[in-house]
Amino acid sequence: MADPRPGVRLGLDIGSVRIGVARSDPRGTLATPVSTITRPRTGADRTVAEIAGIVAELEAVEVIVGLPRTLQGKEGAAAAAARAYAGDLAAAVTVPVRMVDERLTTVSAHQAMHASGRSGRRHRSVVDQVAAVMILQSALDLERSTGRPPGEHLPPTPVDRTKETQA
């Protein structure tokens, strides 16, 4: 097993309602929960700026974003939305943004929360954080086992600021 690259990584589980945020330790070994960010139902979504602030505050060296593929490995509407969000984030931060397969992480997070005795209603507030931890931990483990950065590097995309001024 190869030693992972040093530095804090941020892991994100992007949803239409909430974004789960996790971080790694500086050695890139262990993922832990950070927070859940609620996305606005209407108006401008300022969560990209909020996450960019977390990246700066933690001095993260990379952001890992979960890519929700189907069980057959195809990408649907949720994957397209995650890619678009990750592209906006890549344009807002100075560190690499990588997309990694996150099949079944939310389901696994719900199962883990249920197994720990939390009811469905009580674990909604943290299930996105647990999913982000699972996404990031699997990426860290993959890098450790292969010696290569995980997933797909996402180049920054230009952000259309006219949408923000019209909102």
Q: What percent of the chain has pLDDT over 90?
A: 61
Residue 93 CA: distances (Å) to CA of 15, 45, 101? 20, 16, 21
pLDDT band at 23 (very low <50, low <70, confident <90, very high): very high
Q: Is the pLDDT of residue 54 over 60?
A: yes
pLDDT in tens, 55-107: 999 999 999 999 998 778 788 899 999 999 999 999 999 999 999 998 755 55
Residue 165's pLDDT is 44
**pTM for this prediction:** 0.83
